[in-house]
Amino acid sequence: MAQPALGTLTLPWSISGQRGSKRVPVDPALLAMTLVLTLIGVVMVFSASAVVAGNRFHDPWYFLKRQVAWLVVGLLVMHVISRIDYRIWKKLAIPLLCGATLLLVLVLIPSLGNVAKGARRWLHLGPINIQPAEVAKFVAVIYAAAYLTKKQDQITQFARGLLPPLIVIGLLSGLVLLEPDLGTVVVMGLVVVTLLFLAGARIKHLAILSLCALTGVAALILTSSYRWKRFLMFLDPTKDPSGAGFQITQSFLAFGSGGPFGVGLGEGKQKLFFLPEAHTDFVLALVGEELGLLGTVTIVLLFGLFVVKGFQVAGRARHPFGRHLAMGITMLIGMQALVNAGVVTGLLPTKGLTLPFVSYGGSSLVANLFGVGILLSISRDRQGGKDGEPPRAARKRGVVTE
């Protein structure tokens, strides 16, 4: 059996044997899981936000109308991106990186960036607000995939292979930290480091890098009063249940009230001005209250199946760039879902990360559907060989598929 091409990610569930190159329809299971999660999100956003929207804007449909509008835009973006050859993103990696960096700089300008709850994360563009950090996460993955495809043979060298992408990702992370948004930086860093590991980077280099990163995160927590307070509340929320530990305490009450099957859709009490951010970061807690353990487990399983399907798409991709890119996007969405679930259940310190597809937020929804569009594009090109040739014939002729 021939050895895989340089840069190939060998996965346990990868399809082996000969594969034709005929392009096929998008992966139906991946598309179905995405649509189900977004529809659940629309329902839960309305359930969680109707009372708050009615009180704040005198329109209980306020958040729902905006979520549906962003969903329509996101689905259109997903469809268009799924029809584009994913290899174009390799050529656009540097321009996209420059564009994302510019957006992250612009959001820090007081006259352009909007401040909410102590963070300057939103850029006002006409009638809409966008969150550049959501864009930056996917751009970082595209850049990392393009770099690893080009420099695969040098990735074991620290100075020539590992350091350049770390400098670039470090620049993006530094700009995001200035907003401040530590949660996004942590997720983005974990995904990039995992991609480097899968590409063959040395464990010793990654271990040193991880130690430095942990030291940096610890320093950020210790030197920030609100981060330190969040960390203390994570260790023991009961110390201040009506103050710093209020949000996580209410989240616990929501999950505890739901029981196995929930109190019923729309019947939750925590959204009645008890649980802050019930329609954004803590929407999973409301799912636990209204739909119970059954609803929560269903969403977790959907994300688990999404990750497995994304890994399968990566394993079947014809080109190394497609494999790296599919792995990166899958881990980005899956890891953010895991962190969000960890936060609302008290397993991780509180972070301002939404639950992909389910939480309210236009930038997050469109960015994640953009990522799914790329995954669907890669899934269309999941056969081997080139221009109709079986893979063995292509290898004999020395055809390079990248």
Asked whether the predicted pLDDT for residue 258 surpasses 50, the reply is yes
What is the distance between the alpha carbons of residues 90 and 353, in angstroms, rounded to a whole number? 28
Lowest-pLDDT choice from 12-16, 75-79, 253-257: 12-16
CA torsion angle 341 280 34 343 (round to 10): -10
Given a contact cutoff of 8 angstroms between Cβ atoms, the answer to whether 30 and 309 are in contact is yes
pLDDT digits (tens, 9 = 90+) for 389-398: 344 434 443 4
Given a contact cutoff of 8 angstroms between Cβ atoms, the answer to whether 384 and 20 are in contact is yes
CA-to-CA dists, residue 1 to 17, 206, 394, angstroms: 9, 31, 15
pLDDT digits (tens, 9 = 90+) for 47-91: 999 988 988 888 999 999 999 999 999 999 999 999 999 999 999
Asked whether the predicted pLDDT for residue 383 surpasses 70, the reply is no
The answer to whether residue 358 sits within a structural domain is yes
The whole-number pLDDT of residue 397 equals 39
The whole-number pLDDT of residue 245 equals 80
The answer to whether residue 312 sits within a structural domain is yes
The whole-number pLDDT of residue 402 equals 44
Question: What is the per-residue burial (b if ≥16 Cβ within 10 Å, else e) of 133-154?
Answer: bbbbbbbbbbbbbbbbbebbee
The pLDDT confidence band at residue 13, using thresholds 50, 70 and 90, is very low
What is the distance between the alpha carbons of residues 145 and 373, in angstroms, rounded to a whole number? 16
The answer to whether residue 244 sits within a structural domain is yes
The answer to whether residue 2 sits within a structural domain is no
pLDDT average, residue stretch 352-380: 93
The answer to whether residue 37 sits within a structural domain is yes
pTM of the model: 0.86
What is the distance between the alpha carbons of residues 119 and 63, in angstroms, rounded to a whole number? 21
Given a contact cutoff of 8 angstroms between Cβ atoms, the answer to whether 173 and 143 are in contact is no
Which range marks the domain in which residue 177 is found?
A: 28-385
Given a contact cutoff of 8 angstroms between Cβ atoms, the answer to whether 340 and 355 are in contact is yes
The whole-number pLDDT of residue 46 equals 94
pLDDT digits (tens, 9 = 90+) for 148-189: 999 888 888 888 888 889 999 999 999 999 888 888 999 999
Q: Which amino acid is at 381?
A: D
Number of structural domains (the chain) is 1
Given a contact cutoff of 8 angstroms between Cβ atoms, the answer to whether 196 and 165 are in contact is yes
List the one residue out of 322, 317, 261, 310 whose CA is nearest residue 288: 261
pLDDT digits (tens, 9 = 90+) for 97-147: 999 999 999 998 887 877 776 678 888 777 778 899 999 999 999 999 999
The per-residue pLDDT of the chain, averaged, comes to: 85
The whole-number pLDDT of residue 394 equals 40
The pLDDT confidence band at residue 23, using thresholds 50, 70 and 90, is low
What is the distance between the alpha carbons of residues 368 and 402, in angstroms, rounded to a whole number? 26
The answer to whether residue 396 sits within a structural domain is no
Between 132-150 and 93-106, two packed helices, what is the crossing angle to 10 degrees? 150
The answer to whether residue 168 sits within a structural domain is yes
The whole-number pLDDT of residue 2 equals 44
List the one residue out of 83, 130, 137 whose CA is nearest residue 378: 83
Q: List the structure tokens of 190.
A: 């974990």
Given a contact cutoff of 8 angstroms between Cβ atoms, the answer to whether 234 and 348 are in contact is yes
Query: CA 344: distance to chain centroid?
Result: 17
The whole-number pLDDT of residue 89 equals 96
The answer to whether residue 14 sits within a structural domain is no
